[in-house]
Structure 1
Amino acid sequence: MDLRTALVTLRLRHPFGLSRGTVSELPSLLVRIDPGDPDGAAADGPDRRGLGEASPVRYLGQSAVAAAPLAVAIAAELSPEILADPRAIAAAGPRMRELAPDHSAARCAVDTALWDAAARACGRPLAELLADPDVLDRAGLDRHVLSATSGATVTSYTIALDELPAMAARAAAAAHLPVLKIKLGKGREFDRAALRAVAAAAPRARLRVDANGGWTPDDVRALLPLLVDLGVEQLEQPLPAGRPDLLAALARDCPLPIYADEDVQGPDDVAALRGRVAGINVKLMKCGGISPALATIAAARDSGLRVLVGCMIETRVGLAAGAALARLADEADLDAHMLTRADPMPPGSQERLAPDLPRLCGPGLGVPPGALPADGDPGPGRVA
């Protein structure tokens, strides 16, 4: 199958800070897979092209530039017949890992494009396809495990680490939203002040905290009274990844639900978290696409863990793919369309802050395959 790529730069509306650092723009790789005529769809049938995205997981050492040749190499080994069989798409995962063992985002781009193309070929939205028990059965997944929730209905909105006045101002602008996620991990005193500032600026919002592994167990214990007093409802990845035993020890004494993010990259990591945390953050880019994300969700359900579907800084392509999984999750953090400016993929970035999930209408992901920019061209971008 032919695969075309376009490297784009996503500019952020505000500096995006977390415990590992701050960025103002991030690269991402868009791909379009063409199972038939590389110049477009057949004139007498549905558009069978599919879109995918590789927004690199930077803490794993990935880059958007490196994703391009890996995605091309993966697509070169695929047959167009794979689109007729969800099990074949899922079964391609091991070979994708062989070709791109250290680049889950590259695998994600191709896997997502395959699912998008498969949904377009039968004229169905991807979210509908993934909610079809027969499709899940054909992909080798337990329909009952995946249908154990009513689904996420809103997204949280991120207040990134920044100077205190900036964080308070952004919280005030988002005070009408139901859920705010606060990035912390800059230091105990700063984090205390940031918590108070955000809570005061958005008194009616439910608060969640994400330290991105930037705290120690002592930090958590020192901050816990304030977290509880402010009604924080969820604590995400408070400790550095790689020590699930420490995370478990912390969770035993913590009255707040703890969710793992950096500690779970895919389905194989779930077993180590069973009984140790309340839930996990499933992101397509770190899992390697929709197929392994479905397997990760299934493993979480089997382990009694709640599921939060999240995102990196992505275009509408990656966000639409994440939103297609929202029916299978308990909560969603899919807000990149409100954090970027001039997203090149329609309907573009969204200046208005709203809790609605970034679902799009139409078959597949709902993003027109012809909207892929020329390689290296970030496209004109639009703001909704």
Structure 2
Amino acid sequence: MDLRTALVTLRLRHPFGLSRGTVSELPSLLVRLEPPGSPDGPERRGLGEAAPVRYLGQSAPAAAPLAVAIAAELEPAILSDPRAITAASGRMRELAPAHSAARCAVDTALWDAAARARDLPLADWLADPDVLDRAGLDGHVLLATSGAAVTSYTIALDELPAMAARAAAAAQLPVLKIKLGRAREFDRAAVRAVAAAAPRARLRVDANGGWTPEDARALLPLLVDLGVEQLEQPLPAGRPDLLAALARDSPIPIYADEDAQGPDDVIALAGAVAGVNVKLMKCGGISPALAMIAAARREGLRVLLGCMIESRVGLAAASALSRLADEADLDAHMLTLDDPMPPGSQDRLAPELPRPRGPGLGVPPGALPAEGDHGPARVA
């Protein structure tokens, strides 16, 4: 099958800081799968996105030829069989072993096209246990949760006045995620400032691997006092033993993100952490995300559904899995300024999940920008 690609730049509404640095814009690759005959039948097209995982060394331009090569090996018949779609993820890994985002773009486009061909929203199709069973997964295990109903909103790492001001502007939201990991005393002051600015919000903290075990243990009493309900990836990835030791002593549930890249990592983390952050871009798309969630359910781990800085395409794909997750952190549409895909970026801060209505992902396949064209800015 053919694949059309478009590189876009997603500008951020505010500087987006975390322990690894700060950015003001990020590139992403949008794709549209073109099965034979699809120009006259848009219901057979499928959209996908590759928002590169930068800490894994990925880039958006490098994703384009990889995604095209993956799509070229696919037969249109794959769209008729969920099991064939999930099975294709193994071949995708062979073709793009180091670029999970490129694999994600094609895998998502397959699921989108398959749901569109059935005139069903992808979220509804994936909420059918029979469909999940036919995909080679245990639908009843995957659906053994009430699902995630709202998204958290990120207060990125910045100077203290800026973090407090953004928390105050978002104080009406139910859940705020605070990015930390700069320095112990700064982080102490930052979490206090956010808590004071948004006293009724539930708080979660994400250090993106920016703490030492000593930092984490020194900060835990304050986090407990402020009612922080979740601590994400406090320690650098690659030492799950240290993460497990910290989790054993922590009164706050600890979730793994950078340490949870795929289903095998989930199994290895069983008994070490309370939950895992499942992101389509880092695991390679909807198919491996379903496998990660299934592994988490079998191992008794909670599932946080996360995102990178992505357009409405990637967000819609992640939102389609929200009924299978316990919590969601899908807020990129409120962090970007000029998302080119409808309904565009959103300046209103709201907890609703970014799930457009309509077949498949709910994003019109004809909305893909021209190569290098950002498209018109749309603000909902």
| TM-score between both structures, scaled by the size of structure 2 | 0.99
Displaced runs of 4 or more, over 4 A: none
Corresponding residue SS for 1:92: helix
Task: Answer yes or no: is the 8 Å Cα contact 1:57–1:105 preserved in 2.
Answer: yes
For 1:352 and 1:209, locate their aligned partners in 2 and report how far apart those are by CA, in whole Å.
Answer: 23
For 1:246 and 1:272, locate their aligned partners in 2 and report how far apart those are by CA, in whole Å.
Answer: 13
What corresponds to 2:193 in structure 1?
197
**Aligned match for 2:51, one of 50, 55, 71:** 55
1:27 paired to 2:27: yes
Corresponding residue SS for 1:280: strand
Q: Which amino acid aligns with 2:19?
A: S
Residue 268 of structure 1 and its aligned partner are, at CA, apart by 1.3
Q: Percent identity?
A: 85
Corresponding residue SS for 1:47: helix
Residue 165 of structure 1 and its aligned partner are, at CA, apart by 0.3
1:318 paired to 2:317: no
Gaps of 5+ in 2: none
What corresponds to 2:268 in structure 1?
272
Residue 37 of structure 1 and its aligned partner are, at CA, apart by 2.6
What corresponds to 2:37 in structure 1?
37
Q: Superposition pairs for residues 87-98 of structure 1, below 5 Å?
A: 87-98=83-94
Task: Answer yes or no: is the 8 Å Cα contact 1:32–1:369 preserved in 2.
Answer: yes
Could you report, residue by residue, the CA deviation over 1:36-65 in whole angstroms, capped at 9, with x for unpaired residues? 235x233xxx61100000000000000000
Could you report, residue by residue, the CA deviation over 1:113-152 in whole angstroms, capped at 9, with x for unpaired residues? 0000000000000001111111101100001210110100
Could you report, residue by residue, the CA deviation over 1:59-96 in whole angstroms, capped at 9, with x for unpaired residues? 00000000000000000000000000000000101110
For 1:145 and 1:2, locate their aligned partners in 2 and report how far apart those are by CA, in whole Å.
Answer: 35
Task: Answer yes or no: is the 8 Å Cα contact 1:3–1:34 preserved in 2.
Answer: yes
Corresponding residue SS for 1:341: coil
Q: Which amino acid aligns with 1:112?
A: T
Q: Which amino acid aligns with 1:116?
A: D
For 1:175 and 1:189, locate their aligned partners in 2 and report how far apart those are by CA, in whole Å.
Answer: 24
What corresponds to 1:158 in structure 2?
154
For 1:17 and 1:161, locate their aligned partners in 2 and report how far apart those are by CA, in whole Å.
Answer: 4
Corresponding residue SS for 2:23: strand
Task: Answer yes or no: is the 8 Å Cα contact 1:41–1:49 preserved in 2.
Answer: no
Q: Superposition pairs for residues 1-384 of structure 1, below 5 Å?
A: 1-37=1-37, 40-42=39-41, 47-384=43-380
For 1:240 and 1:41, locate their aligned partners in 2 and report how far apart those are by CA, in whole Å.
Answer: 50
Corresponding residue SS for 1:383: coil
Could you report, residue by residue, the CA deviation over 1:210-240 in whole angstroms, capped at 9, with x for unpaired residues? 0000001100111111101000000000000
Q: Which amino acid aligns with 2:138?
A: D
Gaps of 5+ in 1: none
For 2:194 and 2:65, locate their aligned partners in 1 and report how far apart those are by CA, in whole Å.
Answer: 43
What is the RMSD of the two structures over their aligned residues, measured on CA atoms?
A: 0.7
Q: Which amino acid aligns with 2:272?
A: R
For 2:267 and 2:240, locate their aligned partners in 1 and report how far apart those are by CA, in whole Å.
Answer: 11
Range with bigger deviation, 206-215 or 139-148? 139-148
| TM-score between both structures, scaled by the size of structure 1 | 0.98
For 2:316 and 2:362, locate their aligned partners in 1 and report how far apart those are by CA, in whole Å.
Answer: 8
Residue 272 of structure 1 and its aligned partner are, at CA, apart by 1.2
Q: Which amino acid aligns with 1:41?
A: D
Q: Which amino acid aligns with 2:242?
A: L
For 1:108 and 1:381, locate their aligned partners in 2 and report how far apart those are by CA, in whole Å.
Answer: 25
Residue 301 of structure 1 and its aligned partner are, at CA, apart by 0.3
Q: Which amino acid aligns with 2:33?
A: I
For 2:40 and 2:179, locate their aligned partners in 1 and report how far apart those are by CA, in whole Å.
Answer: 43
Q: Which amino acid aligns with 2:40?
A: A
Residue 377 of structure 1 and its aligned partner are, at CA, apart by 0.9
Q: Which amino acid aligns with 1:5?
A: T
For 2:134 and 2:372, locate their aligned partners in 1 and report how far apart those are by CA, in whole Å.
Answer: 37
Could you report, residue by residue, the CA deviation over 1:285-304 in whole angstroms, capped at 9, with x for unpaired residues? 00100000000000000000
Task: Answer yes or no: is the 8 Å Cα contact 1:41–1:48 preserved in 2.
Answer: no
For 2:148 and 2:260, locate their aligned partners in 1 and report how far apart those are by CA, in whole Å.
Answer: 20
